[in-house]
Structure 1
Amino acid sequence: MKIRTDIVKMYKEIHGWVGIVSGLALFIAFFAGAITMFEEPLQRWASPPSALAGPTPLDRTDELVEKVLAQHPEASRGYEIHLATGPEQPARLTWTVRGQGEHPALQTYYAALEQDGSLQVVEQGPSPVADFVDILHQQVGLPFEHEISMPIMGAIALLYAIAIVSGIFVLLPSLVKDLFALRVGKNAKRMWLDLHNVLGLLSLPFHLVMALTAVVFAFHDQFYDAKTLAFKPDSGRPAMEASAAPPARQDRLPVLELVERIDDQTPGFTLRSLTFMQSPEGEEVVRVSGTDPRYGLRAPTYGMAEADPFTGQLTELDYMPGMQDGWGATVTSFFALHFGNFGGPGIRWTYFLLGIAGAFLFYTGNLLWVESRRKRERRGGAVQQTRATKVLGALTVGVPLGCIAGIAVTVAAAKPLGLHASEAIHSAIYYAVFLAFTGFALMRGAPRAAMELLPVTAAAVLLIPLATLVTLGDHPAQIVWVDIMAISAAGAFWLAWRKVARRAREGGRDSIWSIKPSGQAANGSVERVV
């Protein structure tokens, strides 16, 4: 395909600048997003044994509900019955209330019946580390309030889409010739470029889906506000909670009978939980959550519907997999394509690998851009690297390694912290490590920081299996493959450290990855930038 050289050059400039602006944030989003593909197993790995008595038998759930509502009437605003329990969800019944103060946090309570029939309620539940990693993914690593971070994420997603389109135009002229070329040799820049092109082109559909769906998520509320104004001008978005709890009706179906009636209406759908709450009109409704491997799901790990708790009849099917209308199925498809929650474990592993490859794509893009900038500076007569080039190179090392090490350390901390863990603690651990890595890289420069931080990153990842070993007595290992993957990742970082150290010593002195002084070679000739 023949495209004018000036057009290719223009798109190359757009691709480079847009990529360097958004690349580091996208690395965090993709790396953390890859981990969230196994959010539930990670939560199971991290969650300590519960202080609760064992999950209340399902046939005694109505007794449990009665005692909770009698002693904790605030739970009548909304409580959830879990049909599937485990370390990540140890209680049969939970409810959430908003705390007091200027910035009230949500507090979740877990309830069970002890052997003598008395009610037991605790506030400490599953580890929040998996939720924290998910928030890190959603907010592209930004430590701000969700309402502030999401529009910024949306802007980054738009830049991401521009980078994809411009990258296609840059690659088209050499598409056939260079598609599967991976030239490994002395010209390291060419090798990284080939790898970047192969990763980008082969995962192009995945990246298009991620860019478009991320924009939808970032401006979700604005889209729905516009839809409401266009089609329902006299109605606003209803509040999720009623201002006061109406008297509970006494003729609600027993839980077992309610489950049976819902099961009869939803063949192939596996119920996971029932959430009893109030509609905007003050009527009691039950939200049904579960999975169906035949369809994409509205939430990351479940689909949902609403039912009448007094008859068991399904009343709202907009988000029910396999029972939606055209509009509902279309909206759900955006969520399912982003979450990768269709097709079973094979799709989840594919999304995990594509997420890791995507993070690596943004790293290689930044690496190439910074190296090309240094090459242009050298041709312009700049013997020493400019401050901007040094800073960009350092950030290209510090941000990715800080993200990986920060996640590894905060995940490893989940087990020894046990019931004392909180999302605030995990956030503090992550950002302390992340900022330390980034600051160290800025002080030491790209080549020395890479040589010194890679082994530290490997050690940080090894803290995960170490945490499993240290806590075996109080926290039996259940998800061993989390530790196996951590050990594998540590081995990969050790190999990367060997390669980086060799290039820093033996590569061309004008490369930003060289520890040799910039300038001329011993014979007076200018060394070639690789």
Structure 2
Amino acid sequence: MRANIIKTYKTLHTWTGLIAGMALFIAFFAGAMTMFKGPLDRWATPPGNDIQWVAEDQWLPLMQQTLAAHPAAAKGFTLHLQPGENVGAPLVWDANPERSRFDPQEPWGATLNERGELVTAPFETSPMANLIDMLHQTAGIPGNGHHLFGVYVMGAVSILYALAIVSGLVVLLPTLVKDFLIVRRGKNLKRFWLDAHNVVGLTSLPFHLMIALTVIVFAFHDFLYDALSVTVYKERPLFEMHEHHDRGVDTVAENLLPPEALLANLKTQAPDFVPREMMYMGPLGERAEVRIAGENLEHMVRGADRGFAAMDPYTAELEGTEYLPGQEDPWTEIVISIFALHFGSYGGDFMRWVYVFMGLAGAFIFYSGNLLWVETRRRKQRRNGGPLEQKRNTRLMASATVGVCWGSVAGIALSMSAGKWLHGTMAADSLYLWAYYLVFLASVGWAFWRGPGRGAVELIAFAGLAWLTVPMTALLAWLIPAVPAWVQTAPGPLAVDGSALLAGLLLLEMARRTAKRVFHGSTDSVWYAGAQPIVDEQAVDIREKPA
């Protein structure tokens, strides 16, 4: 391949990667965490009062009494079939159903006491896992609209991401066979970082192409649907609504069928489907429908970890199987596969851990890509006989990389801990957002103030300590029950504490190794922060010889 073509693609790879890299680092790191959103939800949910759980034969009386006493529940409610640390009550609904989708929910829960009487109360859910998911979708870029503004930005970023992937592959083609899976470690650290960057990128190439393309679809699907409506479907609706036949009964609470009857009918048609919750939508309206969410590990599912079946709550008729695992039509199965490949909602916990490591490896690719650009500037100056002092734009890019990347890592950890220690002092959603953005912005400012070298060591160490606050919070809550924080002792939440402990220790070790490079490395590097040597301007040239 001609050298000028390689140079063009290398330039394209460099600049698309630089522009998109820091946002993608945040999205991939947060995305790795969202693979276990359920345990994160349970970890962050404050313990409530002991809730009287209800038996199956009490589900219908619970629903009917709730609908009679609380009209807002008629807009829709969820019946949880199993208790859990993050489940406030057997039946929950939003007391403010007319709210904007960007406003916080006002969840209420209902149960029956031992005398069969209705007991309702507001309860608090933790938005912490949703905050991390928001960072995954938007990289923390604020702004609302029909979708979060950051989603559109990340769609544009993913276009650059796809260009970076393709151009990077073209650059590597001439040496692909010879250098594949080779990581050369020696005095030339730039070569080591480049080899590691290339190996991780090449071995995960299909994953990154899939992520880039699916994010573009997720971000701009509304525009795609609008175009299809105008050019293809025209007068026909793009999405067919479920037809509701004449039920022969009035849609009133007294005529609702027992939920266990619906589940029994579903069991005959989908025996491997394991229901978890029943979402009643407009249960007293003409278009009343129950969406039953559940799991089937043998098939891909539409949601992050759930498939769905739509049923009529008055006839138990199965109305929609398009998202029921194993019963989708061919087109829907393709769509579900796209969602499942992005969310990792197949293969159980094993595939979730695979996606965790792929997400962290992706974050490494973007971070190392920026480091390589900085090192390339230094070597180019050296070859051209340029000054030893690195250019301002190089130092600014290095500082921004350090501040944004490690500020987001520390911000997530400290917002998790703050949510427990400061619980009740302010609205939970505001608390998590304030904690994250204060830490993130302070870290970015610190990196520019301290410079990239010292800033890298200090912020990586800070991120490590931030993650250690998560298990320390659990330990203190267990040892001293009077403290405001709490500890969940179920396996899932404890795994969150254990993972945070491991992350903190690994980051502290990374800070130690980074300090060695920063204080004892090349003196003309943007990362060098040690004592400057005394230079005899007439006789001494302290520049390194090119590797």
Q: What is the TM-score normalised by the length of structure 2?
A: 0.90
The answer to whether residue 298 in structure 2 is matched with residue 294 in structure 1 is yes
3-state SS in 2 of match to 1:471: helix
- Paired with 2:203 and 2:450, the residues of 1 have a C-alpha distance of 36
Aligned residues of 2:64 and 2:254 also touching (Cα < 8 A) = no
2:204 is aligned to 203
Could you give the per-residue CA deviations for residues 230-253 of structure 1, whole angstroms, max 9, x where no partner exists?
Answer: 44323667999xxxxx96263221
1:243 is aligned to none
Instruction: Map residues 307-346 of structure 1 onto 2, 5 A cutoff.
Output: 307-346=311-350
1:372 is aligned to 376
- Paired with 1:81 and 1:434, the residues of 2 have a C-alpha distance of 38
Instruction: Map residues 204-223 of structure 1 onto 2, 5 A cutoff.
Output: 204-223=205-224
Aligned residues of 2:89 and 2:109 also touching (Cα < 8 A) = yes
Could you give the per-residue CA deviations for residues 348-380 of structure 1, whole angstroms, max 9, x where no partner exists?
Answer: 110111111110111001110122123324444
2:178 is aligned to 177
1:424 is aligned to 430
In the TM superposition, what is the alpha-carbon distance from 1:195 to its structure 2 partner? 0.4
| One-letter code aligned to 2:143 | F
Aligned residues of 2:74 and 2:283 also touching (Cα < 8 A) = no
Among 502, 505, 519, the alignment partner of 2:519 is 505
Among 452, 455, 465, the alignment partner of 1:459 is 465
- Paired with 1:263 and 1:412, the residues of 2 have a C-alpha distance of 42
2:510 is aligned to 496
Among 389, 393, 396, the alignment partner of 1:391 is 396
1:262 is aligned to 266
2:118 is aligned to 119
2:22 is aligned to 24
In the TM superposition, what is the alpha-carbon distance from 1:162 to its structure 2 partner? 0.5
- Paired with 1:281 and 1:167, the residues of 2 have a C-alpha distance of 55
Q: Could you tell which deviates more after superposition, 329-338 or 51-60?
A: 51-60
In the TM superposition, what is the alpha-carbon distance from 1:60 to its structure 2 partner? 0.8
The answer to whether residue 257 in structure 2 is matched with residue 228 in structure 1 is no
Aligned residues of 2:75 and 2:283 also touching (Cα < 8 A) = no
Among 435, 438, 442, the alignment partner of 2:448 is 442
Aligned residues of 1:81 and 1:93 also touching (Cα < 8 A) = yes
- Paired with 1:140 and 1:455, the residues of 2 have a C-alpha distance of 22
| One-letter code aligned to 2:199 | V
- Paired with 1:103 and 1:350, the residues of 2 have a C-alpha distance of 32
3-state SS in 2 of match to 1:127: coil
In the TM superposition, what is the alpha-carbon distance from 1:115 to its structure 2 partner? 3.2
Instruction: Map residues 73-88 of structure 1 onto 2, 5 A cutoff.
Output: 73-88=71-86
Aligned residues of 1:318 and 1:325 also touching (Cα < 8 A) = yes
Among 480, 483, 488, the alignment partner of 2:497 is 483
1:526 is aligned to 543
3-state SS in 1 of match to 2:256: coil
Among 89, 95, 98, the alignment partner of 2:87 is 89
2:245 is aligned to none
Aligned residues of 2:382 and 2:543 also touching (Cα < 8 A) = no
Cα 1:298–1:109 change in 2 (3 A) is same
Cα 1:313–1:101 change in 2 (3 A) is closer
- Paired with 1:101 and 1:204, the residues of 2 have a C-alpha distance of 39
Cα 1:179–1:519 change in 2 (3 A) is farther
2:244 is aligned to none
Q: Could you tell which deviates more after superposition, 417-426 or 350-359?
A: 417-426
In the TM superposition, what is the alpha-carbon distance from 1:520 to its structure 2 partner? 9.4
Q: Could you tell which deviates more after superposition, 281-290 or 293-302?
A: 281-290
In the TM superposition, what is the alpha-carbon distance from 1:470 to its structure 2 partner? 2.3
1:44 is aligned to 42
1:34 is aligned to 32
| One-letter code aligned to 2:364 | F
Aligned residues of 2:283 and 2:313 also touching (Cα < 8 A) = no
Cα 1:520–1:8 change in 2 (3 A) is farther
Cα 1:34–1:104 change in 2 (3 A) is closer
The share of aligned pairs that are identical, in percent, is: 40
| One-letter code aligned to 1:438 | V
3-state SS in 2 of match to 1:219: helix
- Paired with 1:527 and 1:384, the residues of 2 have a C-alpha distance of 13
1:251 is aligned to 255
Cα 1:98–1:78 change in 2 (3 A) is closer
In the TM superposition, what is the alpha-carbon distance from 1:199 to its structure 2 partner? 0.4
| One-letter code aligned to 1:477 | T
| One-letter code aligned to 2:221 | H
Cα 1:185–1:104 change in 2 (3 A) is closer
- Paired with 1:87 and 1:325, the residues of 2 have a C-alpha distance of 36
Cα 1:294–1:101 change in 2 (3 A) is closer
The answer to whether residue 159 in structure 2 is matched with residue 158 in structure 1 is yes
Cα 1:309–1:508 change in 2 (3 A) is same
| One-letter code aligned to 2:420 | K
2:246 is aligned to none
3-state SS in 2 of match to 1:322: coil
Aligned residues of 1:151 and 1:219 also touching (Cα < 8 A) = yes
Aligned residues of 2:25 and 2:405 also touching (Cα < 8 A) = yes
3-state SS in 2 of match to 1:106: coil
Unaligned 5+ runs, structure 1? 241-245
Aligned residues of 2:416 and 2:470 also touching (Cα < 8 A) = yes
3-state SS in 1 of match to 2:276: strand
Could you give the per-residue CA deviations for residues 249-269 of structure 1, whole angstroms, max 9, x where no partner exists?
Answer: 632211111111111111211
Aligned residues of 2:72 and 2:97 also touching (Cα < 8 A) = no
Could you give the per-residue CA deviations for residues 312-349 of structure 1, whole angstroms, max 9, x where no partner exists?
Answer: 22111221211111110011111000001111111111
- Paired with 1:183 and 1:299, the residues of 2 have a C-alpha distance of 42
| One-letter code aligned to 1:202 | T
Aligned residues of 2:381 and 2:387 also touching (Cα < 8 A) = yes
3-state SS in 1 of match to 2:185: coil
> Aligned pairs, how many?
523
Q: What is the TM-score normalised by the length of structure 1?
A: 0.93
Could you give the per-residue CA deviations for residues 66-100 of structure 1, whole angstroms, max 9, x where no partner exists?
Answer: 12111111211111111132012232111123466
In the TM superposition, what is the alpha-carbon distance from 1:518 to its structure 2 partner? 8.1
- Paired with 1:98 and 1:465, the residues of 2 have a C-alpha distance of 37
